[in-house]
Amino acid sequence: MPPRRSIEPVETVSGSFPEAEPLQYAGQYRLEACLGTGGMGVVHRAASDSGLRLAVKVIHAEHASDPEFRARFRQEVTAARRVSGAFTASVVDADPDAERPWMATLFIDGPTLAEQVKRNGPLDAEQLRRLGAGLAEALRDIHRAGVVHRDLKPSNVLLAEDGPKVIDFGISRPADSELHTETGKLIGTPPFMAPEQFQRPREVGPEADVFAMGAVLVHAATGRGPFDSDSPYIVAYQVVHNEPDLAGVPAGLAPLLRRCLAKDPAERPTPGEVMVALRAFSPTAAHDTQAYIPAQREPDGAGRADGADSGGPEPAPPGPRRRARWLAAAAAAFTLGAAGAMGLVALHGETDDGAAAHPSASAGQSAPGPGFRPWSITLGGDGDGDGDGSRTPVCSASGDSLYCAAPGVKAARLSTADGHVLWSVRADGGGAQTDEGGAPVRMGGLLLVTAPGGGRLEALDPESGAVRWQLETASYATVEYAGDDTVLLVAADGLVRAVDAATGQERWARRHGGVGTQWTAAPAGGGPLVAATPAVDGASTLITAVDPVSGDPLWQRRAPGVLSPAGRTGSALFLLAADRDGFTDAVVRVDVPSEGRDIRRIPLSAPLDQAQAAVVDDTVYLSGAGGSLLAVSGERQLWRRELGVTHLSRPAGDGNGVYVSAGDGRLLAVDAESGVLLGQTRPRMADGPHTFPSVLPAPVTAGPDRIAGTAPDGSVFAQEAGDPGGW
Residues tagged active-site = 151
CA distance 227 to 215: 8
Question: CA dist 417 to 165, 350, 395, 399, 495, Å?
Answer: 46, 13, 15, 11, 42
| Structure letter (DSSP) for residue 190 | G
Distance CA 414, CA 479 (A): 25
Cβ-in-10-Å burial (0-12, 13-18, 19+) of 454 comes to middle
Instruction: Tell how far CA 28 is from the center of its chain.
Output: 31
CA 20 to chain centre: 38
Measured distance CA(496)–CA(548) in Å, rounded:
11
CB-CB contact of 556 with 575 (8 Å): no
* Distance, CA of 8 to CA of 635 (rounded, Å): 49
Reduced to 3 states, what is the DSSP secondary structure of residue 262? coil
d(CA 541, CA 531): 10
Collapsed DSSP state (helix, strand, coil) of residue 69: helix
Residues belonging to the chain:
727
3-state secondary structure 648-682: ECCCEECCCEEEEEECCCCEEEEECCCCCEEEECC
Q: Are 591 and 575 in contact (CB under 8 A)?
A: no
Taking every pair of Cα atoms in the chain, the longest distance, rounded to a whole number of angstroms, is: 91
- Alpha-carbon distances, residue 512 vs 485, 522, 543, 574, 609 (angstroms): 20, 16, 10, 20, 29
Number of H helices, E strands in the chain: 11, 43
3-state per-residue secondary structure call for 437-456:
HHCCEEECCEEEEECCCCCE
**Rounded distance, CA 454 to CA 446, Å?**
19
